[in-house]
A = this chain, B = another copy of it.
Amino acid sequence: MKMLKNYLKTKRELVDSNIEYHLNKLEYPNVIAEGMRYSVLNGGKRLRPILLLMVLELFDKKIDLGLPIAVAIEMIHSYSLVHDDLPALDNDDYRRGKLTTHKKFGEAEAILIGDALLTHSFSVITDETKGVASDKLVKIIGMVSRYAGINGMIGGQTVDIESEKKKVSLETLKYIHENKTGKLIKLPVEIGAIISEATEEEYKALENYADGIGLAFQIKDDILDIEGDFEKIGKPIGSDLELEKTTYPSIFGIEKSKEILKEVISDAKRSLNIFPDEKIKVFLELADYIGIREN
């Protein structure tokens, strides 16, 4: 894990400095510019942008090709958290131990800050990406929009909200996982494959890997909500239970959920076996890490 942790730290610093670079260009209105920076520069793990960079490295491509897109995806992830935290939605006061955006800047402002992050992400892609052909870029922008929209992240968020306080089927739970969190994890992996001109087989392998770690991430989240440590997670334990949410543990029980998690992770790892071992070390370690992470 030491290799992985160093790798993630280096890449996280690179992503953070790029996020700062792009957001520091924004000045006025101050509350929106500040709010955008506050909402994105919050100590996040940067899993999504790093996945894009990992895929580019897998194909020996320069990571500069994908950095603006990676930053844009993190902006979209951040906007979704800003809106999710609003009083009308999850009504959360804290995220990662800091005040949520609406608590810090006001509710109207948080709505507009989220809107601004989502909107701005597209011009970061179009204006800052260098070295990717326009036809690829159009394809990538379409994918960003679809994966983040009604047939992706927003669809998942909506069904998640509609499913509170009621029992839902495993099928519905899978829809929520695949869309609310899954799509924005697949997105950078697939974009990395598009930029790198992966073969169909390679693309499919990476897509399966991304599906697997996305699901693992979510099952682990459900488990941490029961067995986690408040200090490490930075949010209250047991909120799923309180909201009577359907989760993997609520359907399968905690022990069976842990078994499923292990299987999902080992399937994700196996899907990459078409690549040379020495090229996919970090992918394999990341998959394992998702299963043992404590926050």
Within 8 A of B (CB), among A121-180: 121-123, 126-127, 133-135, 137-139, 141-142, 144-146, 148-151, 154-155, 157-159, 161-162
- Whether B118 and A115, one on each chain, are in contact in the complex, defined by CB atoms closer than 8 angstroms, is yes
Q: Give the residue name and chain of the B residue nearest to A118 (CB).
A: B118
Binds B, one of A26-34, A193-201, A230-238: A26-34
- Whether B107 and A88, one on each chain, are in contact in the complex, defined by CB atoms closer than 8 angstroms, is yes
**Which 7 residue pairs across A and B have the least CB separation, nearest first?**
A126-B142, A123-B145, A134-B134, A122-B145, A119-B149, A88-B107, A134-B135
Contact with B along A259-294 (1 / 0, CB 8 A): 000000000000000000000000000000000000
- 28 A-B pairs within 8 Å (CB atoms) are namely A26-B150, A26-B151, A28-B155, A29-B150, A29-B155, A29-B159, A32-B150, A32-B154, A36-B150, A86-B111, A108-B161, A112-B157, A112-B161, A115-B115, A118-B119, A119-B148, A119-B150, A120-B149, A122-B141, A122-B144, A123-B146, A123-B149, A126-B139, A127-B146, A133-B134, A134-B134, A137-B138, A138-B141
- Whether B122 and A122, one on each chain, are in contact in the complex, defined by CB atoms closer than 8 angstroms, is yes
Question: Which B residues are CB-close (under 8 A) to A145?
Answer: 119-123, 126
Question: Which B residues are CB-close (under 8 A) to A112?
Answer: 83, 154, 157-158, 161
Bound-complex Cα distance A145 to B115 (A): 11
Question: Which B residues are CB-close (under 8 A) to A158?
Answer: 29, 31-32, 109, 112
Bound-complex Cα distance A85 to B79 (A): 20
Contacts A32-B158, A122-B122: A116 and B26 contacting too (C-beta < 8 A)? no
Interface membership of A14, Cβ < 8 A = no
Copy number of this protein in the oligomer?
Answer: 2
Tell me the smallest distance from the CB of A19 to a CB of chain B, in Å: 15
Bound-complex Cα distance A86 to B119 (A): 19
Tell me the smallest distance from the CB of A151 to a CB of chain B, in Å: 8
Residues of chain A whose beta carbon lies under 8 Å from any beta carbon of chain B? 26, 28-29, 31-33, 36, 79, 83, 86, 88-89, 106-109, 111-112, 114-116, 118-123, 126-127, 133-135, 137-139, 141-142, 144-146, 148-151, 154-155, 157-159, 161-162
Question: Which B residues are CB-close (under 8 A) to A155?
Answer: 28-29, 32
Q: Give the residue name and chain of the B residue nearest to A161 (CB).
A: B108
Bound-complex Cα distance A131 to B265 (A): 44
Question: Which B residues are CB-close (under 8 A) to A83?
Answer: 111-112, 115
Question: Which B residues are CB-close (under 8 A) to A146?
Answer: 123, 127
Bound-complex Cα distance A133 to B115 (A): 28
Q: Give the residue name and chain of the B residue nearest to A120 (CB).
A: B149
Question: Which B residues are CB-close (under 8 A) to A33?
Answer: 150
- Whether B119 and A162, one on each chain, are in contact in the complex, defined by CB atoms closer than 8 angstroms, is no
Q: Give the residue name and chain of the B residue nearest to A133 (CB).
A: B134
